[in-house]
Every structure is written in structure tokens, then in C-alpha cells.
Amino acid sequence: MSLQNKLSALVKQKKAQGLFRQREIMNGPQGINITIDNRQYLSFCSNDYLGLANDTDLIEALKQASDKFGLGSGAAHLITGHSQLHHDLEQALAAHVQRESAVIFSTGYMANLGLLTSLCQKGDVILGDKLNHASLVDGSLFSDADFKRYHHNNMDHLELNLKKHSEKNCFVVTDGVFSMDGDIANMQSIMQLANENDATVIVDDAHGLGVLGEKGGGICELFGLKENNSPIIMGTLGKAVGVFGAFIAGSKDLIDYLIQTARPYVYTTAMPSCLAAASLVSLDKIHKENWRRDHLQELILEFKTRCQSLGLELLESNTPIQPIILGDEATALKWSERLREKGLLVKAIRPPTVPKGTARLRVTLSAAHSQQDIRQLTQALGELV
């Protein structure tokens, strides 16, 4: 069979399975009100949890920085791509998550790949939560270490694995907030088990940064995990921060080591400086504007209460990620389509992103939503039950 025929058969198969994915073409900024094909929707599917992705202060910072620093960074960080703004952002990020040092990556996917492939070496063991994000899974697979998975948030299974590999150098790798379920890693127990067994913990806080903790410091602030015995943190700038990029934070030696060795850091162009400038302003707002987190928590509570009274099956989540489990792909797609007809955008998430039989609507809430938006969504959901 020619490659063309093979590809066309594979595409056809995806379509037949209801697994064919298409991109929406957005005509305007990210936000709770978005326009697709000239139609307005109330959206519940972005990771812009604090409503900062289209914030005028961030955009102003970007404009001013691009006047001064231009657009393209033109080179990798280790050549001539590293500007004062990148440097300032790294320091602000380290302070925000209370770590000694931080290094920026161009995306979270690259940060996880770089961290795991640099740090975890032949003879080491990576113990990863079964529901870890794909970038953590890929980083674990691409590293030279042995990769084992433990049952989701199951501390007995983690302990069993730590004991089994006690003679090896172990890394425990977990999402802070699980991206498709919205639940939070049991960090207290993970840290305790890791300390007892001399293992290093890596936490991916893509969905926790800005959202969790009184000042938005993320999962480590929530659990009070400071410098000593603390996990290595990966965070992203494209979700609650509202911009683009990612970082890793930890000890100075860790960060210096990554700058030397992480290939997705060394061999890629630095993110434009003006994006770093926008992230700096965003971090400041995240730190100061508690109302965003407070309002978001009120919306989460309102949504959960209303869904419970409708008898909808939610997961154990107190974060802005609120999945409604529907089971099979067809039902999830049908519900998503019905909501869409009413001007409400909620994406169906299907295998392989989630395990088979757990297709779902993934509702994500944002501080930009109002109580009225939640009522509108839950009312429409009520008509589908």
C-alpha cells in the first residue's frame, strides 16, 4: 500500500470511530465569549482560569516591551536570545513558587521533556502517576531511566514501587492538578514517602499555578512545601498566567545543570522577550488580585452544587477543571453538540486522551465567568439529563 493510501485509510478509520479531531478556527481573542464562524459562544473550554489571556495590562506590557526589545529573540538562550526580561521573569518565577532558581522553557511540553531526559539517567527509576499528562509520559519514555506507573494517586501502590526499587535512584513524577480529572495529587503523602525512601519528587503544576494557594503560588503553596525537602516544580505560562511558555524551578544547581544539558532548552529559539514582559505583569496580578481566585472558587462551588442537584456524575474535583463523565464517545459528542446548538461551548474529551469508557465533557471555569454564566450552563445541562 502506498503511503497516501495508508494515510487515507487511517483518517477514514478515525472518522468511523468517532475519534477524528478538528480544530476550531477562532476569530478573535481567547476569553469566555468567543466567535467561531461568525457565531458567538459562551465558552467553558479554555485554561485561562484567571481571565488574564486578554488582559489589557498584559497586552500593554507586551506592546511596550516589543517597542524596546523588538519581536523575535533570534537565537537560543545560550547564544544571544536571553534578554534582561527573560532574566527578570526567571527571578520573579523563582520567588513566586519560593524556590532558589528558575529557568524558562518555550513550552511546558519541552520543559518536561528537558527535565526528565536530563535528570533521570540509566539505572534510575521513574515512578509516574497513571494519569500524568502526556508530556510527562513522553519525557519519562524518552529518558534512559526505567519507567513504571503507579495507580492514580494511590499511595500504597507508590510505596510498594518505592520499596521494590529501593536500591535505585528513584524519581516520583506527578501532575499537581490532573488535567483531565481536576483532582489534586496527594502531595503530603508523596513527599513523606519520597523522603523516607530517598526519592526526588517532580510536580507538574500546569493547572495549579496561579489558581491554588492563597497567593496563587500553586500546589506547593497549597501544601506548604517550601525550599527544604521540596519538589522540583514545572509550571506553565500559557494557562492561568495567560501568556505562553513554561519554567522549571528548584535549587540553583538543578537549574544550572538543566541550562547545560536539557536539549529542548539548549537547541531551541528563546521565546520572544515581549512575552516574558507580559508574564511578569501577569505574575504581579496573580500575586495581588486575590479576588480572581476567590471568585473562581465561588463559581466552582455553584457549578458543583447545581450539577449535584441535577444528578450528574462529577469527579472529586475542587479545581476549575470539572469533568462530567458520560462513558461512551457518542454520548459525550452528542451532549457537546447539543450544548453548542444553544451557544455553549464545552468540549467532549475522548480516548486516547482519557481511558476508554470514561469519555466526558470537560468543563473548565474561569474567573471571567459570572454566576449567570454558570446558571446558563447548568440549565442547559439539565435539559440533557
The distance of closest approach from Cβ of residue 258 to ligand PLP in the complex, given in angstroms and rounded to an integer, is: 16
**Cβ-Cβ contacts under 8 Å for 149 (sequence gap 6 or more):** 127, 128, 129, 130, 132
Is residue 66 flagged as an active site residue? Answer: no
The distance of closest approach from Cβ of residue 180 to ligand PLP in the complex, given in angstroms and rounded to an integer, is: 9
Distance between CA atoms of 131 and 186, rounded to whole angstroms? 13
The helix or strand, by DSSP H or E, that contains position 363, with its residue range, turns out to be strand 359-364
Q: Is 54 exposed, middle or buried (0-12, 13-18, 19+ CB in 10 A)?
A: middle
State the catalytic residue, choosing from 43, 179, 282, 336. 179
The distance of closest approach from Cβ of residue 207 to ligand PLP in the complex, given in angstroms and rounded to an integer, is: 6
- CB nearer to ligand PLP: give 126 or 312: 126
Q: Is 343 exposed, middle or buried (0-12, 13-18, 19+ CB in 10 A)?
A: middle
Distance between CA atoms of 185 and 358, rounded to whole angstroms? 20
Residues 100 and 121 sit within 8 Å (Cβ to Cβ): no
Is residue 179 flagged as an active site residue? Answer: yes
The distance of closest approach from Cβ of residue 384 to ligand PLP in the complex, given in angstroms and rounded to an integer, is: 27
- CB nearer to ligand PLP: give 248 or 381: 248
Is residue 366 flagged as an active site residue? Answer: no
Distance of CA 93 to the CA centre of its chain: 16
Q: Which of the 8 DSSP states describes residue 77?
A: I
- CB nearer to ligand PLP: give 128 or 312: 128
- CB nearer to ligand PLP: give 62 or 177: 177
The distance of closest approach from Cβ of residue 98 to ligand PLP in the complex, given in angstroms and rounded to an integer, is: 20
- CB nearer to ligand PLP: give 47 or 98: 47
Return residues touching ligand PLP (CB under 6 A): 107-109, 112, 133, 135, 175, 179, 204, 206-207, 236, 238, 246
- CB nearer to ligand PLP: give 90 or 373: 90
Residues 85 and 66 sit within 8 Å (Cβ to Cβ): no
Ramachandran bin of 198, using left for φ above 0, alpha for ψ from -120 to 50, beta for the remaining angles: left
The three-state (H, E, C) secondary structure of 252-271, written as one string: HHHHHHHHHHCHHHHCCECC
State the catalytic residue, choosing from 207, 285, 295, 347. 207
Say which amino acid occupies 42.
L
State the catalytic residue, choosing from 77, 239, 285, 347. 239
The distance of closest approach from Cβ of residue 135 to ligand PLP in the complex, given in angstroms and rounded to an integer, is: 4
How long a stretch of residues is the chain? 385
Quote the cell numbers at residue 169: 535512584
Which residues carry out catalysis? 179, 207, 239
